[in-house]
Amino acid sequence: MQKFIFLGLIILTQFLLANPKGYSIETITTPKDVYFHIAGLDIDKQGRVYCATRYGDVWILDKGKWIQFAKGLQEPCGLVIDDDGSVVVTQKPEMTRLVDSDQDGVADLYLNLSHEWGFHNNYHEFNFGGIKDKQGNFIGSLNLAAGPKVPGLKLSAMSTEGGYRGWAYKVSPEGKFTPIASGLRSPAGLGKNPQGELFFTDNQGDYLASSTLNQLEPGKFYGHPISLLDKPEYNMTTLKNMDDQEFDKMRTLPIVWIPQEEIANSPGNPEWNATKGKFGPFENQFFIGDQSRSNIFRVSLQKVAGRYQGAVIDFMSGFQCGNIRLKFDLEGNLWAGQTSRGWASRGSRPYGLQKVVWDQKTIPFEILDVKLQKESFKIYFTQKINPQDAKKIKISRWWYEYSRMYGAPKSELEELTPQAIKISADGMSMTISCALMKERVYCFDFSELNNDKLANKKAYYTIINLIE
């Protein structure tokens, strides 16, 4: 009897979590009695999994065995394996190359690639990384400081004492440090697409109404004003005297808004799916984990009027802990590095490592993608949509106001009536005509559909530009 109840509970949770059919979560046992809060994750060509932990270690999972590769680091929050087999980690005070010079499987050289930014011993001054660009530079992003008594420039919740806090930067293989872009708040995840374009997520808070995915481009300012302290044309006084509207005009809008409490509160790194179908139908999309809600969601990109915008769709929930780092392995499994220390996450475990495995056959019924057209949206599905079901769609739209407030609700929220719905001949997509407006997040909600069919029922499309 008990077994039946247990089984029933599993089915019920899976049903409530609405995960895509054919995908399962596997848990990897981490080294015994080791604080394994993962904040850096990469996988080499032999399939070895490298984890940087917030405790300060680097561990390698090699054929089911864990090897401690490095230790004593200061809360590394990014890890990338270089072509020569050395490992580049972003510690709080330093970007460090770890070299196993005597080839015994353990690093013996901890080489300073760069420490040319300001680190002032604040716990919140994280240094995220884990990405190498096309030219061979290592990319990092520097978190702003926080805390009730934190010194420096503070216009709202976060603070900086300068030294490129709130910036993304690159370091050449020779160690040359170059700041790239400013206005970042808590940019916990960096990523790239096959073209080598760079992306980052930012976490909701002051000057950031909801979390975002952004393209990282040189010289841009993404909205958090205290980072401007490092530009020669500003100082403490000028920044304190500026109002939010002035900062608003300067900022670059995100690719997508990631709705708070619906999709993610603390997104990690965007991981591009280039598995050539090994991970199912969601090729050429970003997968992003959330540290707070312990889920994984997808983002698809569309270039309109010269810049990216796109769609956000939830993917999978019910992980044991908050997902901050994602990485595809060679077999097309999606690994998730997890932590909850300091920032609580859903799930039963304080830290850990899990992976998502596709059964290589089941095509779940999901919203595959949403694309903007000149006067409509086109919504793609992974299976045929019933024309009767398609009519049950609900559309709403809103925007997020810019201000120093810590997160902001949806503004100008309104329901829209679709003007026309057309199902394609193959039944795999539908075109929805409705009132289009730039700088709006559109939500396409299929909640009225039969529950057992479509797993994730909402797609969110951020229109930055309309198609002229």
Partner 1 sequence: MQLKNILNLVLIFSSSLLLKADDLSELRGQKLYETICFSCHGNKLEGATGPNLKDYEWLHGSSKSDIIKSITNGFPEKGMLAFGALYKQEQINDLVNFILSRQQGLRNVEYKIFHDIQLNDKFEWDKHKADKQRSLKPPHFNPNLPEVNQFAISFKGQLLIPKHLAGDFILSGIRKQYRGIALYIDGDKIPFPTNKDRAIKIPLNLRAGTHDIRLEYIKDFKSTVFFLDLVGKETIPLTSESYRRSITSSHIPKAENAFLINRKRITAAPPGSIIVNHMDKISYAIDPKTSDIKAMWLGKSLDIGPNIYARGQHFAQPIGTHLFSAEQSINLFINGKAAELKYIGYSDKPLPKFIFKSSEGEISLQSKIENNALKLSYSIKSNHALDINLKIPQELNTKLSKGKTKNGLFTPESPQDFFISIPIKELK
Residues near 321 by beta carbon (within 8 Å), at least 6 away in sequence:
294, 338, 339, 340, 345, 347, 348, 349, 350, 351, 352
Per the structure block, which two tokens stand in for 237? Answer: 């006084």
Shortest distance (Å) from residue 444 CB to partner 1: 25
Distances (CA, A) of 79 to 97, 121, 127, 138, 150: 10, 21, 11, 10, 28
Closest CA to 368 of 353, 378, 360: 378
Nearer to partner 1, 186 or 429 (CB): 186
Shortest distance (Å) from residue 384 CB to partner 1: 39
Shortest distance (Å) from residue 131 CB to partner 1: 21
Shortest distance (Å) from residue 165 CB to partner 1: 12
Shortest distance (Å) from residue 115 CB to partner 1: 6
Shortest distance (Å) from residue 146 CB to partner 1: 6
Nearer to partner 1, 70 or 367 (CB): 70
Shortest distance (Å) from residue 50 CB to partner 1: 18
Angstrom distance (rounded) from CA 232 to CA 77: 29
Nearer to partner 1, 149 or 276 (CB): 149
Shortest distance (Å) from residue 74 CB to partner 1: 4
Helix, strand or coil, per DSSP, at residue 449: coil
Angstrom distance (rounded) from CA 168 to CA 196: 16
Shortest distance (Å) from residue 120 CB to partner 1: 6
Nearer to partner 1, 287 or 351 (CB): 351
Nearer to partner 1, 36 or 399 (CB): 36
Contact 367, 391 (CB under 8 A): no
Angstrom distance (rounded) from CA 366 to CA 283: 13
Shortest distance (Å) from residue 52 CB to partner 1: 13
Shortest distance (Å) from residue 176 CB to partner 1: 12
Residues 433-442: b if buried by 16+ CB within 10 A, e if exposed:
ebebeeebbb
Shortest distance (Å) from residue 223 CB to partner 1: 17
Angstrom distance (rounded) from CA 402 to CA 246: 11
Nearer to partner 1, 208 or 313 (CB): 208
The length of the chain in residues reads 468
Nearer to partner 1, 273 or 339 (CB): 339
Q: Which residue has the tokens 């072509």?
A: 83
Torsion of CA 30, 31, 34, 36, to 10 degrees: -30
CB atoms within 10 A of CB 32: 7
Please list the helix, strand and coil fractions of the chain in percent, rounded to the nearest 5, in that order: 10, 40, 50
What value, to the nearest 5°, has the Cα angle with vertex 66 and ends 65 and 71? 165
Residues that bind partner 1 (CB under 8 A): 32-33, 35, 54-56, 71-75, 91-94, 96-97, 101-102, 108-112, 115, 119-121, 123-124, 146-149, 156-158, 205-206, 340-344, 350, 405-407
Nearer to partner 1, 204 or 382 (CB): 204
Nearer to partner 1, 281 or 407 (CB): 407
Closest CA to 354 of 36, 10, 13: 36
Residues near 106 by beta carbon (within 8 Å), at least 6 away in sequence:
67, 68, 69, 70, 100
Nearer to partner 1, 129 or 407 (CB): 407
Angstrom distance (rounded) from CA 280 to CA 115: 41
Nearer to partner 1, 119 or 444 (CB): 119
Contact 324, 268 (CB under 8 A): yes
Nearer to partner 1, 74 or 252 (CB): 74
**Dihedral pair phi/psi, residue 114, rounded to 5°:** -165, 145
